[in-house]
Structure 1
Amino acid sequence: MALRIPFLLSLWRSILLVAISTSAIPLKTLDELIADADAEFAATPAGGFPLLPPSRDPWYRAPTTYDWRQTDPGRVLKIRRAPLLNQTISNALAAYQLLYRSTDSQYNASWDVTTLFIPRWQARCSASAPALCAHAVLSYQLPYDTCDVDASPSFGLHFGEPYGEIGDALALGWFVAVPDYEGPLASYAAGVQAGHATLDGVRAVLEVAGRFGLRMDQAKVALWGYSGGALASEWAAELSVQYAPKLAIAGVAVGGLTPNVTSVTAYLNGRAGAGLIPQGLLGIATQHPDAYGWIVSRLKPALKGAFLSVRGMTAAQSIEAFQYQNIYGYFVGGYRDLHTRVMELMYDVDGYMGYHGVPRMPMFIYNAIHDELSDIRDVDELVDRFCGVGANILYQRNTVGSHTQELVNGRGRAFAWLRSVLDGSYDQIYSSMGCTVQNVTYNLAPWVGWGR
């Protein structure tokens, strides 16, 4: 026994040293992380910032010097400046990228990235002029609709902003955060993953924004997304009550909703947007390895390569490559292969909105009645479900336009609604109790089409 005691003590010391070396406390404070990012920016000559896609950029990796998994969701793990984005996004004073702790669809520790844009007018902010400092944060979920991680917004925005909405929001003096809500696996259409990443992105931004002059005592946060971005925003809204109960969100605006992933698959099959089906199936299945294996195993050998090729495509590329095709025909068992038990278990976790909680913040939902991507009846049902248990929703059903046209047709209404929740005038303009359902007619964008 006496000989074993030194051995046991030595073993205990080794375990203790390992525990200390993987402590949940990062080696650097937020102030130190920001200072390092600014110092690197100052020391790097113009044109010296490498632009690498996430799959090849070592920055897109979790820290290895401590056990980041033990940190709280939303904890900032890395920070860097993104100076090239100042050239592609209008009205931005500076851009920072935050890598933060999050939680995937299986409730395992994961990480995500958000890009934080500071509005140009924040240059006037100072301690002696607090009224000139920003007081609003918009988390803008950009629809990128692909299972290719290299199409993530933190990289893709270097080549331009597709809709101009980030620049418009910055012009209003709002901080704007754009999360890569699909996560490091590019889990397109995985609702829980996207919702967690969105909420934790807001947490991360609020950790650092005060250091950039945001008036934290008055700060209000809103979420906005259309189509794939609406998916992330809506899941964040319904997950917030149990996943982020202390996170105050003033309002959520969503357009072009896709409440039921299996309904969307059936709706798109054989149509112009059929290329989103392989993207969605492979994307959501990255959170469900058994389903991913099943999907790959049931592809017809002669067609497997073509189907899996979407892993290297943007949404627009896959839409062009698969338009009007019967995607069920790629599978040995056709439609039935996508509705086996392993697939239904995946859909139950990540594919159906309305079952994970009731949004506790005001919501603005806008949708084209003739939306060709998602059946308007699914949106009606989701709104009815929430309204039946006390949600506060303004739901506008546009009598004209398609899915892509409503992106533009609804933009002005979304901005007006967001301004009200962020400037505190919501109660004076909109009903703050119950639900309001309206059929409206806005026809501003007859020219909008797929991939444009």
Structure 2
Amino acid sequence: MLSSSVNVLTTFVALLSSISSTVNALPTAAVDLSKRATPPSDDPFYVPPVGFEKTAPGTILRERQIISSFFGILPDFVETHQLLYRTTAVNGTPIATVTTIFKPDWPRPDQFISFQTAYDSSAINCSPSYNYQWGAWQDDLISSAEFLFLQAYLLSGWIVAAPDYEGPDAAFGPGKLEGMGTLDGMRAVSNYRSKLGLSKAKPDIVGVGYSGGSIATGWAAAMHSTYASELNIKGWVAGGIPANLTSVINLVDDTLFSGFLPIAIAGLSKPSAYGAKLKPVIDSVLTPKGKALLDFANTQCAVPNILNFFEQSIFSTDVQTLGRGILQEPTVAAVLAENVLGASPDLIPRAPMLMYHAALDEIIPYADAAKLSTQWCDRGVSIDFITYGAGGHIGTEVTSLPDAIDFVENAFDGTTKKGCSAQTKLDSIFDPIALGANLEPVATALIDFFAKIGRNDSGLKSNLALLKTPAQS
């Protein structure tokens, strides 16, 4: 297990070396590298002040400047701020969470991107706001890798904000919670505009997210008009979107990625999500093995959970006593139904969207994303839907990067096409030069990493298979 972890770290370090010339071009302000990050569970910055409940959603409760870094070991010398802000739980009660803001030297005027990274975890210490900091222990390799994607937007000149949209108890999965956390993060950044050099009272915003990050992005897009209509959102980019959690459960159960399921159950059962009604039901049907799985999910990030529940079934009576009947249990069924994106005709995006998905996606069902695109298109949303015919779930995030950046550029310029379109692309990789000279080092690094994973993500599958035995021994 140790040698495999070293190999992963070695690969990441190799990626960093390929973008070092770009990083070195960033500002080299004096920083104190002796101050290492404190996990959120022990960091008082994450605790809201007394009386915060009386403030409006998006109110800034605390602020600080931090040292951001690649994988916790290489400082990213870009101006980085964090805001603790007020947001809202599923039941409407006030809660607080954090957004991390990255400001380039010469940012584009009055524009910022909300980047919802896929941290896919129900452990608070896996929050992106911690993982992005210098000296943070890198348990969450997913958001660490996605930090490279964030750089592509940052190096294009945009201010980028990345919210901890799962809230203070890391509730992975509940769409409305994550949507409100995202929109309130946008409000907080807008309220911080003077310190970021943004002059407009309502800055232009584009929301971006892939996979787990597209839960937050998709629901924020759907809730924009009803929850935060004052935000000047110009567009949305959502890829690999889990539109129907029941379909995801059925697809990934007893597969390489079945470890996502205990995380989702733990997340949906958190107090800020559906804990009051769902947790008693879940607790009543869990076996000792099932309880141990949820305890593990509540303390570990995504990759350890994938290894811990590798090719196992959440429907096994070794885990919970209802078997497949768990999906028909009334409370469980109601929660899952409430989290079907597109089910409500009142929750539809107002700004244009780019949606994209791998036809061969082995984690998030393609059919649900295509269905959602059609539903929203029929309700008047302008959507460009791209099907990537080559590559799996993970590789498609790389392949899609030029299309995502082009759409963001057009959204800010107001030149996206009205109406809906659909196209299929068969390329399995892209030319780094397509992103321009400034982004070529980042693109090359991403290509190098995902080339090692392999076509259709088969290389990743092989690596996980090798890790299975030592992880479960």
After TM superposition, is the score higher than 0.5? Answer: yes
User: Would you say 1:380 and 2:380 are equivalent positions?
Assistant: no
Which region of structure 1 is more displaced relative to structure 2, 52-61 or 191-200?
52-61
1:387 deviates by 0.7
User: Would you say 1:443 and 2:451 are equivalent positions?
Assistant: no
1:115 deviates by 0.4
User: Percent identity of the aligned residues?
Assistant: 28
Counterpart of 2:131?
Answer: 156
1:446 deviates by 5.0
Counterpart of 1:77?
Answer: 61
Distance 2:77 2:34 in 1: 20
Q: 5 Å matches for 1:251-262? A: 251-262=235-246
Which region of structure 1 is more displaced relative to structure 2, 261-270 or 289-298?
289-298
Query: Which residue identity lines up with residue 379 of structure 2 in the other structure?
Result: V
Q: 5 Å matches for 1:10-89? A: 46-47=32-33, 49-64=35-50, 67-85=51-69
Aligned partners of 1:135 and 1:174 also within 8 Å: no
1:169 deviates by 1.4
Which region of structure 1 is more displaced relative to structure 2, 304-313 or 80-89?
80-89
Q: 5 Å matches for 1:212-361? A: 212-216=196-200, 219-286=203-270, 287-289=273-275, 290-329=277-316, 330-355=319-344, 357-361=347-351
| Structure 1 moving runs of 4+ over 4 Å | 84-92, 449-452
Superposed CA deviations along residues 328-357 of structure 1, whole A, max 9, x for unmatched, are 111111111233111122223335444251
1:235 deviates by 0.3
Query: Which residue identity lines up with residue 175 of structure 1 in the other structure?
Result: I
Aligned partners of 2:182 and 2:220 also within 8 Å: yes
Q: 1:397 aligns with which of 363, 367, 387?
A: 387
Q: 5 Å matches for 1:124-203? A: 134-158=109-133, 159=136, 161-163=144-146, 164-203=148-187
Counterpart of 2:85?
Answer: 100
Superposed CA deviations along residues 280-316 of structure 1, whole A, max 9, x for unmatched, are 1110121112212211221122442134312111111
Counterpart of 2:15?
Answer: none
TM-score by length of 1: 0.82
TM-aligned CA distance change 1:90 to 1:138, over 3 Å = farther
Superposed CA deviations along residues 183-227 of structure 1, whole A, max 9, x for unmatched, are 001110110010000000001001112322124278421010000
Counterpart of 1:409?
Answer: 399
TM-aligned CA distance change 1:61 to 1:351, over 3 Å = farther
Counterpart of 1:36?
Answer: none
Distance 1:218 1:323 in 2: 46
Aligned partners of 1:91 and 1:171 also within 8 Å: no
TM-score by length of 2: 0.78
SS in 2 for 1:326: coil
Distance 1:184 1:167 in 2: 26
TM-aligned CA distance change 1:91 to 1:84, over 3 Å = closer
Which region of structure 1 is more displaced relative to structure 2, 143-152 or 159-168?
159-168
TM-aligned CA distance change 1:226 to 1:116, over 3 Å = same
Query: Which residue identity lines up with residue 212 of structure 2 in the other structure?
Result: G
SS in 1 for 2:261: helix
Superposed CA deviations along residues 237-292 of structure 1, whole A, max 9, x for unmatched, are 00011001111101000111100011100110011110000101110121112212
Aligned partners of 2:348 and 2:381 also within 8 Å: yes
Distance 2:212 2:255 in 1: 18
Count of aligned positions? 392
SS in 2 for 1:83: strand
User: Would you say 1:370 and 2:360 are equivalent positions?
Assistant: yes
Query: Which residue identity lines up with residue 150 of structure 2 in the other structure?
Result: I
Distance 1:435 1:387 in 2: 6
Superposed CA deviations along residues 25-49 of structure 1, whole A, max 9, x for unmatched, are xxxxxxxxxxxxxxxxxxx982453
TM-aligned CA distance change 1:215 to 1:172, over 3 Å = farther
Aligned partners of 2:87 and 2:181 also within 8 Å: yes
Distance 1:89 1:235 in 2: 33
Aligned partners of 1:89 and 1:167 also within 8 Å: no
Counterpart of 1:118?
Answer: 103
TM-aligned CA distance change 1:89 to 1:212, over 3 Å = farther
Counterpart of 1:20?
Answer: none
TM-aligned CA distance change 1:248 to 1:288, over 3 Å = same
Counterpart of 1:27?
Answer: none
TM-aligned CA distance change 1:220 to 1:89, over 3 Å = farther
Aligned partners of 2:342 and 2:348 also within 8 Å: no
SS in 1 for 2:106: helix
Which region of structure 1 is more displaced relative to structure 2, 327-336 or 268-277?
327-336
In the alignment, structure 1 segments of 5+ residues that lack a partner are 1-43, 123-132
SS in 2 for 1:199: helix
- Name the Cα RMSD after superposition: 2.2
Superposed CA deviations along residues 45-65 of structure 1, whole A, max 9, x for unmatched, are 82453521111111111102x
Distance 2:240 2:340 in 1: 16
Aligned partners of 1:362 and 1:393 also within 8 Å: yes
Aligned partners of 1:249 and 1:361 also within 8 Å: yes
